[in-house]
Every structure is written in structure tokens, then in C-alpha cells.
Amino acid sequence: MKRVDDFRLRFGERELVPIMIGGMGVDISTAGLALEAARLGGIGHISDAMLPTVTDRRYKTKFVKEKQKQYKLNVHKADKSIVQFDLAQVAEATRLHVGKTMEAKRGDGMIFVNCMEKLTMNAPRETLCTRLRVALDAGIDGITLAAGLHLGSFALMEDHPRFRDARLGIIVSSLRALQLFLRKNARLNRLPDFIVVEGPLAGGHLGFGMDWAKYDLRTIFLEIRQFLQAEHLDIPLIPAGGIFTGSDAVDFLESGAAAVQVATRFTVAAECGIPEKVQQEYFRASEADIEVNMLSPTGYPMRMLKNCPAIGSGIRPNCEAFGYLLDGNGKCAYIDAYNREVAAHPDAKKISVKDKTCLCTHMRNYDCWTCGHYTYRLKDTTHRNADGTYQALSAEHIFRDYQFSTDNKVALPPQN
Ligand SMILES: Cc1cc2nc3c(=O)[nH]c(=O)nc-3n(C[C@H](O)[C@H](O)[C@H](O)COP(=O)(O)O)c2cc1C
């Protein structure tokens, strides 16, 4: 019976354990988590979502305060178009986060950054360009283009000295999205180094509509594999979404996957950014406690725990401090929903917004509990303490369980 460890992911001369921990913003896939994956010979991701906020917390910068101060007079205005990111600050935050993480890297693995196109930051092209190029400057091993079609993202890096040696890949949820990406980038004469095929059971935003349940990862994966074979394109394919055990991973590796991308199992790792108290909510969740909804202002469906504080919250938009989802015209679907509720309840002290959520504030505060479909199985991956809480796991334990387990088994950690 094969184990994940019987396979290797090959990038040129490099051989890696074929386990990639997926990017989880905002600082859920922390540098600490990514560093563990790299130390153990796999690939870890940091995320570049809301980095000025993340570096304020981790490295004591003051980016959020400065931006808030600069745009203070706009706080009560519905029009947020003047609220712009200072590109030098975005660059500095990226340089700090990526640079410090890469400096701390040990072992034979790699660290990539997850870069979401939907983080439009009121200047989609300029902010994305800064994030991508500075991540390369700061020594990141690779970039995973996420949450968007990224039709122009390679072109933003094409004259960067590392454009051809850094590992650049894309996440797609359909063959059509991949074909569009390849067609659009054909003139650059540079194929992606890997393709993550993300199915509908993943956490975070989904690349499907609300009919996500009609799709399944294996079918999309096989369709894309067949297309690549027919086109004689030898690009490592990395399925993601619902791969919960080492045996699930082996099934894909035996079907031609170069590696697997996993995330949900690591949401309850000690190195993960989710606070311990919230991790207990992930452990406790049953299948009925998880939903896919349209609350994200990005317009993509998102999976989350139904009891999270983000749902129904009517918090005032704080774009002057954050504003990561403002489109190129300073608009965000949450601002519209919030203003509609304020107009409908002019005397209310507190309002509730049911159809959208303020993702910036809630993700920053770990109040939007996005999760993968199999979150309800996390309780089976550890011990229950005498007080009813669940024992935290180390990233190393989870990683090695994926690497060495067989028979669909999940090894429990040594009991505390
Ligand atoms: C809590 C959480 C947050 C996530 N955030 C992001 C993100 O910011 N960007 C992204 O591309 N994918 C995100 N994902 C998706 C993962 O990177 C990964 O592809 C997917 O969840 C793998 O499926 P699994 O969770 O069933 O193992 C997130 C997943 C989870 C569980």
C-alpha cells in the first residue's frame, strides 16, 4: 500500500515531499506554518492579503494608523474613491513579511506566497503589480495566483529578473479558466510551473457558483490532466479541496497529480493564525454548522461556520483603515448593503446587515470563520480533553500524518 512519501514533486532539479499547505488569508497560514512545511520538505504558503495590517501586528509597523489618519475626514462619507493605498507602504509591508519569512527558512522545502486578484485595493493593477514584484524582490520561492483569472498578472512581472526562475503557478477551478489563462499568456513564452486545481470542497472563496455541489474535484482534475496530455504540456497538477487523509492524497498522486494542496487539517495547528478559542469552534463544528453563502463582497461564494460573528454583523465599513476590497472606483458591495440598512433604520443604534459582510474587518479580527467542507471531521483528528475542549495539534504532526498514513487512517497526536 502506497504512502504519500513514496512520491516526490519535481521542480527541475528539486525534489519535494508532495504536500503543499494552501494559502490562507488573512495571516491564517502564518509564516510559522509555512516555515514548518518547508522544514519538513514540502511547500508552505504565506498570504499577501492585508499585509500592512499583518505587519502592524507582527512587526510593529504603523501602516493602518497612518492610512486611517490620512483619510479620517472621509469616514462618514459613502464615497470611498479617494481612499488610496500608498504603494510605498504596500511595498514595505510585502518586503517585511516576505523577507523575514524567507530569512527564517530552514530545510529543503519551499515557501510560496498566495496572491489574490480579488484584493483590488482601489487600484487593482498598481497594487497587484507592487505585491507581485516586491515578493519576488524579497526572495519568495514562488507565487500562487489565486482568487481571479489573473489574465494580466504574468505580464506585470515579465521584465522582473526573477520572472523565469521563480516558481509561478495559478489556481483554477475549471478547464475553461486554465485555457483562458494559457491563451492570454501565450505571447510571454512562459508556462506556469504548476497548476492548482481547486474543487468545491475547499475553504475560503470558491471558484464556482452557488451550484458548487454539482461539481467534483476528481472530474475537473481528470479533465484538465487529459487536456494537458493532449496539448503535450508537462505542467505539475496539484489538486486541492477535500483531501483529508494521506490515502485521499495517494489516490490523486496515483492518478497523475504531482502533489496535493491541503489546508483544512492545518486550521487547528498550533502554528496556524486562528486564535485557539476559534480553533475550538472549528473542532466542535458538525456538518450542519457549515454553509456556503454569498456574503463576501467579492461576489464569490465562500464557505464558513454559521455561528461566526461576521454573519449578520452591521459594523461600519472601515475602508479608511483597510479598504482591501474596494474596486477600481472605490466601491464595495458591503458599503452599499450597509448604507441601505442605515437608511432603512435611521434611529437604530445598531444595525444588522444580512446579505453581505465586511470581510476586511472580520477577516482581520478572525471573526469570519471560513473553513473547508470537511471541517466537521477535525474532531476525529485529535483527543478530547476532560473539560470538553480538543487538544491542539502541531503542524509537524499533521504534515507527517499526510506523508505516512495509509488505509484512510488519521494518526492521533500523543496525548497531553
Ligand atoms: C481557513 C481557510 C482560508 C483560506 N484562505 C484562502 C486564501 O486566502 N486564498 C486562497 O487562494 N485559498 C484560500 N483557502 C483555500 C486553501 O488554500 C486550499 O486550497 C483549500 O482549502 C484546500 O482544501 P482543504 O481545505 O479541504 O484541504 C483557504 C482555506 C481555508 C480552510
**pLDDT tens digit string along 197-232?**
999 999 999 999 999 999 999 999 999 999 999 999
pLDDT of amino acid 206: 98
Task: Tell which one of 216, 264, 272, 283 to mutate to probe ligand 1, the residue whose CB is within 8 A of the most ligand atoms.
Answer: 264
Does any domain span residue 409?
no
Distant-in-sequence, close-in-space partners of 94: CB < 8 Å, separation ≥ 6: 48, 51, 130, 131, 134, 135, 138
- Cβ neighbours of 40 (radius 10 Å): 20
Does any domain span residue 116?
yes
Instruction: List b or e across 54-82, with b for residues whose CB sees 16 or more CB atoms inside 10 angstroms.
Output: bbbeeeebebbeebbeebeebeeeeebee
Q: How many angstroms is it from 370 CA to the middle of ligand 1?
A: 9
Q: Is 90 exceeded by the pLDDT of residue 262?
A: yes
Does any domain span residue 414?
no
Distant-in-sequence, close-in-space partners of 222: CB < 8 Å, separation ≥ 6: 255
Does any domain span residue 410?
no
Q: How many angstroms is it from 198 CA to the middle of ligand 1?
A: 9
Contact (Cβ atoms closer than 8 angstroms) between residue 129 and residue 156:
yes
Ligand 1 site residues, Cβ closer than 6 angstroms:
22-25, 28, 47, 49, 114, 116, 146-147, 171, 198, 201-204, 240-243, 261-264, 267, 370-372, 374
Q: Is 90 exceeded by the pLDDT of residue 369?
A: yes
pLDDT of amino acid 68: 97
Does any domain span residue 81?
yes
Mean per-residue pLDDT of the chain: 97
161 SS3 class: coil
Q: How many angstroms is it from 82 CA to the middle of ligand 1?
A: 32
**In the chain, how many domains are there?**
1
What is the number of the ligand 1 atom nearest to the C-alpha of 374? 26
196 SS3 class: strand
Cα angle: 10, vertex 15, 16; to 5 degrees: 100
Q: How many angstroms is it from 203 CA to the middle of ligand 1?
A: 4
Does any domain span residue 413?
no
Split at pLDDT 50, 70, 90, the class of 9 is very high
pLDDT of amino acid 416: 83
If you take atom 20 of ligand 1, which residue's CA is the nearest one? 202
**pLDDT tens digit string along 179-199?**
999 999 999 999 999 999 999
Q: How many angstroms is it from 29 CA to the middle of ligand 1?
A: 9
Which residue is it, cell 512587526? 59
Q: What percent of the chain has pLDDT over 90?
A: 99
Does any domain span residue 234?
yes
Residues spanned by the domain of 292: 4-404
**pLDDT tens digit string along 61-90?**
999 999 999 999 999 999 999 999 999 999
**pLDDT tens digit string along 98-143?**
999 999 999 999 999 999 999 999 999 999 999 999 999 999 999 9
Does any domain span residue 241?
yes
Q: Is 90 exceeded by the pLDDT of residue 321?
A: yes
- Cβ neighbours of 343 (radius 10 Å): 8
- CATH code: domain of residue 341: 3.20.20.70
